[in-house]
Structure 1
């Protein structure tokens, strides 16, 4: 007989030490994986928490488990009789409503294909030389003996520089959008304040404005990717439904803004986190320098250890039956993707860097039909950045101050990563 999953009776995440953020994530994993139970946890709002690797894969590939629709994220914006006033968080919702992570069938499939036709592995491979040119310039600016913040001066500079050139942004616009991406960090605070929302609304509005301008320039220049997105948008004859299906993007600029939050923000985290992991595993870094063909595996293992995204919310579109249990339709589910990478049943000694580790089972980018479509671009940008470090014979060493992670944050994000620079060629 099927039994309804009683979420309220499950242990709270806080009982195992997780209150949100990388600062307590690893201690949480050690404790929660120390015994075969519990299988699931709950959030303070009594939503289901999935954290074991096998369950993450199972839930992530189940058609009953979809994305969290925009109307469930921002109910005040879509409630019947809502007034014209814009509540805090309005601008965030306006941008995110065009993100495929808020879409469900029948909108999700064609919208996802639209993004993959632009950012699929083959297409991203063709963008690598542009990324390399940006990375070459960024790494070339480093001077022997100086101390820099590898987050802002390298990871963010490479990522923002790449997207800005790809999207026809001016130098001034690139600087502004870089600051917007930094402000977007507040979106992932475990406890957002009204000040956070104010800054986020301002950042999202400016970010959306700039990407709208970029889309107009791209269309005027006949950019093939933007022309294709425009054509595909006209084919999306789907009724808006903010509470389940999602909202059809109204313009190419809306598609860019909604789906490049990860491009500008999270890809920079991936680059910085990979640098941090390799810096703290000098033998592995030296081995990769000697054998650059191992770099893709090294990046995968680094992002297993320090995945940018700790958790994302999903939504039960229909009753989900599994193992004699049923998760009712309408349930919210927190998917702790990062915990799946630290499940010792799949990754023995999960806190140890092991480049030879088998890679099936990684949950860095999610799983199933909702796996991150921008992952190819993020990995490519990280790879070319590291290849430029090797090509220009740049090494990083300890600075006086240590790296600092943002606390109480649902991203594994470095605030700063100071490092001393040494280069054999001594720069120009």
Structure 2
């Protein structure tokens, strides 16, 4: 019975909210900052919606509230591909099938009770201590990439530096051959199409080819690692056997069927998004020369500079979430089954938490950042991405290599759920001893 004086919670009327496009946001970095200025200029609306009537959460306090609520989980694979797992589903493989094959093994599609142990399995491989032990490999790869750059050359920092180092690092770590490394680099480049706001049939065709080849190579890498007695691969194999849960595509998720599936599902971000983090950090520092000079003069400030750069230019703009159980908050209820779009990047630009959010300020408090999400679903690969970014910058500084603006401007991919540079031309100047 309702207690006297206590109002019954009301269902959140998502259809009553304005859309993101009403505030000028269509995806991609080009209109993101203008969107943030406009949407944060008033206290209302609290929420927005997508054209498909998914709830859009963008204010920092709400991102924290939803991001830490146990009722709000990951978007299960069966909700992404609702027709795929129905009884009597067609055996034909429609466009996008190979994408689903890979993503189904990604921790971002798991919910309890599978999510926790699967996440720990990844962190046993990519936790802060383990990533620290990988640092020398990252330096070796970075030095090799730098050695191929000529003095005075204008290079694309995305392809020539960030992607080359990231792909080279994972390829060496996973014992890929040179030919396999080149192929998987092309696959990672094609994966960009996954994040287009409106994917075409041609996008899906190219993505299916890329994901199928990517999965094949990582399956080979896993088998090769197991044969070589690679400790990390052996531990993943052992932990995988402990994930004794029935498959539940519509809520809990699907247990990965092999070590190769674990690698493929969870290194999409490793190969693709980590390169974005590095390129975006270079971009933020290059456009804030005082910060770049500070880092050069005081290398111990570099970690704070990277944190601030990724606050300004986080790789991920938004991710989907899913309400597992009726979510009661602030007198409202959001029913189970509701899909939610979490605009994590907007949390970093909420002026109520980050005053003058477009200003690069290394002295800001580093609490409350939404760069990698929050709560139990925070990105488990963030340590590797930040380490690779730091090593690249340290190696450029160690060799006294100057990076300056090129005549052609950087270009961001529009209509994208990622904050991704398509091209970032920069002029490289080597010190006298390297000429």
Identify whether the pair has TM-score above 0.5, normalized to the shorter chain: yes
Distance 1:222 1:160 in 2: 23
Describe the superposition over 1:178-237 as per-residue Cα deviations: whole angstroms up to 9, x where unpaired: 000000000000110000000000000000000000000100011111101101111111
Q: What's the counterpart of residue 124 of structure 1? A: 131
Q: Does 1:6 align with 2:13?
A: yes
Describe the superposition over 1:389-423 as per-residue Cα deviations: whole angstroms up to 9, x where unpaired: 00011111121211111111111101111111101
Q: Does 1:25 align with 2:43?
A: no
Counterpart secondary structure, 1:75: coil
Given that 2:28 and 2:420 are in contact with CA atoms closer than 8 Å, whether structure 1 keeps it comes out as no
> Out of 223, 240, 251, which is 1:233 matched to?
240
Q: What's the counterpart of residue 412 of structure 1? A: 419
> Out of 378, 383, 406, which is 1:371 matched to?
378
Distance 1:15 1:43 in 2: 10
> Out of 187, 190, 195, which is 1:188 matched to?
195
Q: Does 1:175 align with 2:182?
A: yes
Distance 1:80 1:333 in 2: 27
Which of 409-418 and 371-380 deviates more? 409-418
Q: What's the counterpart of residue 268 of structure 2? A: 261
Pairwise CA distance, 1:363: 0.1
Q: Does 1:164 align with 2:171?
A: yes
Q: What's the counterpart of residue 350 of structure 1? A: 357
Counterpart secondary structure, 1:330: coil
Given that 1:68 and 1:101 are in contact with CA atoms closer than 8 Å, whether structure 2 keeps it comes out as yes
Distance 1:176 1:312 in 2: 28
Which of 333-342 and 132-141 deviates more? 132-141
Q: What's the counterpart of residue 286 of structure 1? A: 293
Pairwise CA distance, 1:279: 0.5
Q: What's the counterpart of residue 99 of structure 1? A: 106
Pairs within 5 Å for 1:1-150? 1-150=8-157
1:426–1:194: structure 2 CA closer, same or farther, 3 Å change rule? farther
Q: Does 1:311 align with 2:318?
A: yes
Distance 1:421 1:21 in 2: 27
Q: What's the counterpart of residue 323 of structure 1? A: 330
Q: What's the counterpart of residue 4 of structure 2? A: none
**TM-score, with structure 2 as normaliser:** 0.98
> Out of 191, 207, 232, which is 1:200 matched to?
207
Distance 1:44 1:227 in 2: 46
Given that 1:189 and 1:409 are in contact with CA atoms closer than 8 Å, whether structure 2 keeps it comes out as yes
Distance 1:343 1:376 in 2: 24
**TM-score, with structure 1 as normaliser:** 0.99
Pairwise CA distance, 1:11: 1.1
Q: Write out the 4+ residue segments of structure 1 that deviate beyond 4 Å after TM superposition.
A: none
Given that 1:392 and 1:425 are in contact with CA atoms closer than 8 Å, whether structure 2 keeps it comes out as no
Given that 1:92 and 1:204 are in contact with CA atoms closer than 8 Å, whether structure 2 keeps it comes out as yes
Distance 1:332 1:136 in 2: 44
Counterpart secondary structure, 1:105: coil
Pairs within 5 Å for 1:215-230? 215-230=222-237
Structure 2 runs not aligned, ≥5 long: 1-7
Distance 1:425 1:263 in 2: 35
Which of 333-342 and 79-88 deviates more? 79-88
Counterpart secondary structure, 1:49: strand
Given that 1:142 and 1:427 are in contact with CA atoms closer than 8 Å, whether structure 2 keeps it comes out as no
RMSD between superposed Cα atoms in Å: 0.7
Pairs within 5 Å for 1:377-388? 377-388=384-395
Residue correspondences, number: 428
Q: Does 1:213 align with 2:206?
A: no
